[in-house]
Amino acid sequence: MAKQQQDLDQLSINTIRTLSMDAVQQANSGHPGTPMAMAPVVYCLWNQVLRFDPDDPIWPNRDRFVLSIGHASMLLYSLLHLAGVKAVNPKYETLGQLSVTLDDIKNFRQLDSKCPGHPEYRWTSGVETTTGPLGQGVATSVGMAMAGKWMAQYFNRPDFELFNYDVYALCGDGCLMEGISSEAASLAGHLKLANLCWVYDNNRITIEGNTQLAFSDDVATRFIGFGWNVTRVGDANDLEVLARALNTFRATPDRPTLIIVDSHIAYGAPHKQDTSAAHGEPLGEKEIQETKRRYGWPEDAKFLIPDGVREHFREGIGKRGGVLRGAWMTKFEAYQRQYPTLADHLYKMQQRHLPDGWDKDLPEFPADAKGIAGRDSSGKVLNALARNVPWLLGGSADLAPSTKTRLTFEGAGDFSALDYSGRNLHFGIREHAMGAVLNGLSLSKVRPYGSGFLIFSDYGRGPLRLGALMEIPVIYVFTHDSIGVGEDGPTHQPIEHLASLRVIPGFITIRPADANEVVEAWRVVMQFRHEPVALILSRQALPTLDRSKFAPASGLAKGAYVLADAQGGKPDVILIGTGSEVGLCVSAYEQLTAEGIKARVVSMPSWEIFEYYCGKHPEYRESVFPSSVTARVSVELASTFGWERYVGSTGRIIGMESFGASAPLKVLSKKFGFTVDHIVHAAEEQLPKSSNR
């Protein structure tokens, strides 16, 4: 019996290997080496350890598996197919068909296949996160582990342990060279995330050759310094030692675990190393035949799945996962009866819905010429929302006192190794890891926010982009939004950042003009289910507009709206502003009106929302920006890039063409032309002389 089990184990491992070889060869593109070498590792994890039900790959308490070495995607696709993982549709409904069919594998890296070059969340069920940029996967796994700890504290009750899942991430030398992995590992060790396990494929090969060219870290010592438990497997093919290492992780209660696995790429045998196979080149038909011969495989067979392999996975991960999920569902039914409110919260959270009354008690701000900074009004709104949405949690990269993102109401608490129930997260000065952790939290269905200065959004660009690619509703609160930071100078004055965020597909930027637009911005943001968003907020006070005199702030929901208009609604010139510059436009409007010039002010907090709304309501664009009115002025304390789409070829763009300077804001505003007189002059220049009075 033991011999039969060993034979099935090896047959299954070699099936993963040969599927990977064949898929890469047929595509004439991809990375066969790592899937071949690490097949025993993932086989052991999936079929012997992972608590995952292939029939319900979004079961909330499933163990998570993250393939951080996304170039080894065939490793994951082979597993998803052999384990019989079912597809899930956008409505979170489990479908009868396979997530990855054999035809998908045969069409690896081809258009519309569920097996793209790197794993993509939402495209292929069973893929927990989009990976590809090295280090992102392991860093994202930290957020998943944090979410598991928080949900256990919030939902678990005596006799009802709803959350106790573990998170596994498979990484390589490239992941551990990237700085983000060190940021994330440091945070995970500090938080003592005992539900987190990274498996490190120590194959000592990168694209340029042996890692000795650029990497000589003592990884084990480094991770011990981070506060991790470290264990080693000397041979990736030794299933017994692999299982022992994984059991050691599950028995370690007070810290995350790193399992260092020594492997040899390509054949998965110690006598052969081939860097090309590891990084982007097929093996070639002759070498595939030789390799299959070593495996005792039919040399000419392609995409062969021998009898008994699928059944073996069904008896392993399929049976174990089905039993665990069934017991969980039975427990949840009883939980619903005993804790109906918590059960409702869990359902809504998993569906990305909001609880009843989520927007009650939001503040309203009276007209005030002195006003309030965008970051301050945002902090008040955030605290009101967080009281109503228990799974809204977040923090900053060590800047919460400046970004006003700390939750201050009773019971909010701090998330720490001593108390995982806290809702204030502390990321330390780790913007890059913060973004990936936020993605991991969101993928686990809590609603996360992270904050920092807008200038430092550059430090987190990778995960910010991946969040948009995955269509997950992460919230960023970026403050200190312009040269308004004054004396801090060009190193802290964001210029190109708004434009660079606006060009990310599926990413939403909102730059509110006053406190009541901030309220409406949060109201809109909380209802997003698939879009990451950045709230761009000022450090300096912004006048709170008198909404009895100007249009209501609810117009923000359309992305842009007419804030103040010419009598009769037929302007000769349109002034367009965002954020703090809307107040300047209003003052310029009043001066132009006094001169007898028919002017309109458009507050345009979000290009993306405006374009989306106009896509559904084409007539709205004309109502805001009549094509007959070509005299237009845009005003934004940022790069001028992109504004020509709204001012046209003859309009004027008042913006930044340099990196700014170190000086008080009033001095900078005058130097760079952000004055009422400059706006008025730019408007008048476009009008016939007869219209100027």
| Rounded Cα gap, residues 249 and 196, in angstroms | 8
| 330's tokens | 């039975």
For the chain, the straight-line distance linking the first and the last C-alpha, in angstroms and rounded, comes to 98
290 is catalytic: no
| Rounded Cα gap, residues 13 and 41, in angstroms | 9
| Rounded Cα gap, residues 80 and 173, in angstroms | 24
Q: What is the three-class DSSP state of 87?
A: strand
How does DSSP assign 308-353, residue by residue?
A: THHHHHIIIIIHHHHHHHHHHHHHHHHHHHH-HHHHHHHHHHHTTP
How does DSSP assign 234-296, residue by residue?
A: S-TT-HHHHHHHHHHHHT--SS-EEEEEE--TTTSSTT---HHHHTT----HHHHHHHHHHHT
| Rounded Cα gap, residues 280 and 31, in angstroms | 5
The three-state DSSP-derived secondary structure of 464-511 is: HHHHHHHCCCCEEEEECCCHHHHHHCHHHCCCCHHHHHHCCCCCEEEC
Catalytic: which of 431, 531, 608, 636? 431
| Rounded Cα gap, residues 259 and 38, in angstroms | 13
Q: List the one residue out of 326, 636, 355, 683 whose CA is nearest residue 502.
A: 636
The residues, any chain, with a CB within 8 Å of residue 631's CB and separated by 6 or more, are 572, 573, 574, 650, 651, 683, 686, 687
Beta bridge partners of 478: 452, 536
| 538's tokens | 């000022």
Strand order in the sheet with 533-536: 424-426, 392-396, 447-453, 475-479, 533-536, 508-510
Given a contact cutoff of 8 angstroms between Cβ atoms, the answer to whether 83 and 51 are in contact is no
Active-site positions read: 431
